[in-house]
Amino acid sequence: MSSELNFKIEKRLKDRLGRVGILETPHGKIETPAFIVVGTKATVKSLSPEDVKEIGAQAVLANTYHLYLEPGDELVANAGGLHKFMNWDGPTFTDSGGFQVFSLGSAMEDKANKFGSKTNLEVQPPSVCKEDSVSKLSKIDEDGVTFKSHIDGTSHRFTPERSMEIQHNLGADIIFAFDECTSPLASREYQKEAMNRTHRWAKRSLDRHNELGGPQSLFGIVQGGRFEDLRKESAKEIASLPFDGFGIGGSFEKEDVYKALVWVNEVLPENKPRHFLGIGAVEDLFGGIENGVDTFDCVAPTRMARNGALETKEGRMNIMNAKFKTDFTPIESDCECYTCKNYTRAYLAHLFRAEELLAYRLASIHNLHFVVNLVKKIRQSILDDNFFEFKEEFLKRYKVIKL
């Protein structure tokens, strides 16, 4: 491989799998652990690249499936790649498109998300085709996946090789092998079948990636669902292949997440970075970092922001609550984000009630600033040898408030 990735561990968390490190990419360093901001369609919704830098974000993750459909990966390549196209000069990631297989296929059938819930799907595109009396947009076979665009219903096909070609066109620093992400509601038999297919696809992804060449780094993805033996088997198999790093994928019962991280990260080689795909709610960051995760990505901070849910040290605030209409204090008095330094809760409440677009920008700036800098504080707590005290103090105050 011609990867230009370098990962150095600076300090380890005593008696746990957590660690602090530096991940060097062709477009700069990432101090780990780090929260990677999601810019699905080569944009962080409602924010400029300057906004994203100002909040302290080190890297952005874009979505292979969405950019393939619109505007097209070849167009992005002709524009000079993802960095030039979106005017972001820092490190970038792209996922493989595998999660969209889950979202458009079995997840629609089961109405399941990554934690097994049958509500609040992360992707709920309109039904375009009917198959076996179940509304699905994708069909998996050994070679790859055939799917219909949620935009216009046209038919498309992803294989491991095609995913590599698309991601090389997009030009992110870190890309992921094509995998099959299963529903946590799937049977053990199917989880094993999908895991073995993911392993075969991993080898094909590696082969095509090496044929294409270039400076990009390829991460393999560990699957296996909620089953300990399958997770360990998958970690062992993916670790045996010459990947530059690893993604921990799939879906879990909420209570199984941290156990699954231990199962996997005790097997994966210590000297390579580990990315937790699509998980990054505040309450999961401490457990993820404690159990060996180096980077996270998640749409939750910006998605919640657009729904008026604002992160604070005491928990999530619903800005549409009537009491905030006349509250002329910032979201948090000690927050250094642009929103808190310049606007009040009353103004945010007004913007949301009036359905003004500025509401999305100001709320997203605050939520991303909160999460990105919380991870930086967790990192510093490991360096300062007070991680467990910081975790206990923070989680004692932080409450997940349902909207």
Residues catalogued as catalytic: 95, 297
The DSSP secondary-structure symbol of 33 reads: S
For 304, the enclosing helix (H) or strand (E) is helix 300-306
* Nearest-10 crossing angle of helices 257-265, 228-239: 40
- Count of Cβ atoms closer than 10 Å to residue 13 Cβ: 18
Rounded-to-integer distance, Cα 4 and Cα 24, Å:
8
Buried b / exposed e over 242-279, threshold 16 CB at 10 Å, is ebbbbbbbbbbbeebbbbbbbbbbebbeeebbbbbbbb
Q: Which burial class, exposed, middle or buried, applies to 321 when counting CB atoms under 10 A from its CB (0-12, 13-18, 19+)?
A: middle
How long, in residues, is the chain? 403
Token digits for 312?
Answer: 């604070």
- 185, 112 contact by CB (below 8 A): yes
Rounded-to-integer distance, Cα 114 and Cα 107, Å:
9
The DSSP secondary-structure symbol of 292 reads: T
Rounded-to-integer distance, Cα 215 and Cα 239, Å:
21
What's the CA dihedral at 205, 211, 212, 214 to 10 degrees? 100
Strands 134-135 and 28-32: unpaired
Token digits for 284?
Answer: 């999961």
The residue ranges of DSSP E strands in 204-355, in sequence order, are: 217-222, 245-248, 274-276, 295-298, 309-312, 315-318
- 180, 98 contact by CB (below 8 A): yes
